[in-house]
Amino acid sequence: MLASPVLILGARSDIGRALARGYAAQGCEVILAARGDISADSTDLALRTGARVHAVSFDVTDGQPDAFFDALGVVPGTVVMVAGLLEDQAQSAADDLAAACVMDSNYAGPSRYLLAAARRMANVPGACIIGISSVAGERGRASNFVYGSAKAGFTAFLSGRRNAYAMTGLHVMTVKPGFVRTQMTAGMKLPPAVTAEPQQVSDAIIRAQGRKSDVIYTLARRRLNMAIIRAIPEPIFKKLSL
């Protein structure tokens, strides 16, 4: 049984929308949190599924997670952190403000919001916190080291939270989707064999939550792929265009 209500932080993203549909189909109450007005999404989802759906304003970089949860008026049973930002690597490397935005959006902001969530959810039966991290955080690569380093920090944060709450009822799950065909990756040349659709990510997350999995990859072959990348010796890795 999935713990409800389900709060989706970053609900305007393609993965966030797929998750909203998936949880609503499971009979969960859903709270959509995103920048700007997301009431149209809320109304549409409620009409299509018959689920109870609410919409709230949310900015992962605003530095006010406690105020956000206090205003929510309910303690979620499930929180999914989908919010993140993939910017141009060259711009992030050259511009301090661009780098800070990537780091705040992918590590500092999400971690602070999930800390605030955990403080409220520790005693909720069956509660679950889910963080969408990235395979980019498994090894520093020249092509995305700013984004990857932020995701590496977020992965470590989720692991630490999971271990800290291991003896309680609060479960923490890490999701590493790999390549996903979304608006964020539009225009990128994605390898078909290891590229998932948002619905696949959503389905994998909901199944894994039911099993209380700790760390999941959307596609099983991606786990093997990353194991190979991690095993490459550093002197060789530095010469590769990854």
- CA–CA dist 171, 189 (Å, integer): 35
Which residues, given as ranges, of the chain have pLDDT below 70? 183-188, 190-194, 220-222, 224-226, 228, 242
The residues facing 196 across adjacent strands are 180
| Average pLDDT of every residue of the chain | 89
pLDDT at 234: 76
What is the DSSP pairing of strand 179-180 with strand 171-176? unpaired
Q: Which domains are delineated in the chain? A: 6-237 (3.40.50.720)
* Short-list 82, 62, 83, CA closest to 71: 62
Task: For 139-196, write each residue's pLDDT tens digit.
Answer: 877 778 999 999 999 999 999 999 999 888 899 999 998 777 776 666 667 666 667 7
Q: Could you tell me which of 21, 15, 14 has the C-alpha nearest to residue 6?
A: 21
How far is the C-alpha of 107 from the C-alpha of 169, rounded, in Å? 25
For CA atoms 133, 90, 61, 152, the dihedral sign is positive
CA-based radius of gyration for the chain: 17
Report pLDDT for 93: 84
